[in-house]
Structure 1
């Protein structure tokens, strides 16, 4: 009798532990140990610190990870979003463009994953131009292949990005047919939807955020790479639906980036929508200090209209 009780206790303990683990914020290595593609030994040291505004900034990333933020089980609706913080491809604004956004999605029953992607570096990469998109594709691949673990619908996995993170998310959005990683199971690398916030879209001289372009492609960028990474040139009919957010007075990343993408999405007949602020500049995260309007409410409605979330009662 005691043996039976002991077995029952062990089973209960394991089930409880599993439940607790699945409800916590877990950090996962993006790749198996010592299997990071396109990597070389380097001396980069990762740093996490708060800037003058109290925002979490991460630099020197050489080991990419995915942090899972799980909603309450009673709210979970099977939709997931992978979030790519911005930072000009030089740092990651992991707080106000990462964790804070993930927690907001959790309120809606959406499972969120914050991607700590490698920043372009000749020191740790054989080819720095593809390092970030490898990590974005791997994140999509991992979440889709492990969908059952998080009780997700593998056909409701989207990607989101801010600024240069928007360029990364956008790159994954338009280049889904070209795998930059090993994909033995032929898992779809196409996100099911894309949310781009004050994104870098074009690397053409007219609109480019030159800091992001230089960080990714170098000072003397190959024209073919400029074209490839100018996302307005890569939209096709199969491009997933896109929601954009931008402020008209953004001097860092001109709103022309989003407007140009909107134009080509329209021509390709890809579902899209956009919320535009009159003011707000760049890098405001979820809260534009110049407006009482919360753009995330429009994202919520947009996702609801596509049956990605359930409307609140």
Structure 2
């Protein structure tokens, strides 16, 4: 990507108001996303048809007049979307060139089985090739998710170490990683897990070379402003919040109590939009969702 575009994207993420739209449901979560959108599993016969339908859903969202860079800083895609076009342009280039929205790419291959109260990421063979493809399509950054279910020291250390190890590979490719160690909102040890996670993240951030920046995507914490040290850390470009299963109303309320964190919502963003709606109804519903999340991200 031309360094001029990269600088513009970096400047937008760093200085403008808004949030990141997570449009990266992949194979495992796509049927649920389509069902919430009003498309039943009986309406597609195989994966190809399923991914075509979810791309149609994402295209409808991204091409809506409500969806643009005035309130949305970036959007996270998954590889299948990166390989497709929107209105004749590669999806990532359409986002930036037509909507002024910074493109990110989900790069993980899903979660390993639970061990020590956490799920680390599955191995990612071919990551370098995927990163090269992302760079060629003007993608700015990446996202990868692990899950923390219990306040297990060894488990949380393993999650954060893996995230930063892969994060350095992503930085070396010229992309900005969004490091996402999600704490399960239903964890019986959520507060304790958050305390361990914060300490581990600070430890890893302090070891990064001067001038290097990553982004963090975190579950909304039990205590407001608990992650303020991370928001203010020089190695952190932005801290974004996942909705994690909270309703949009609850997620927005919690987000508004955390100064400096912005939304990166997936299901909460598309809550209420439906394949069965007219374009006017769809645009109005999406606009209301975007405005609510935008306002909560201003705190």
TM-score w.r.t. length of structure 1: 0.35
The structure with more radius of gyration: 1
TM-score w.r.t. length of structure 2: 0.36
More helix as a share of residues: 2
Larger relative contact order, structure 1 or 2 (CA cutoff 8 Å, min sep 6): 2
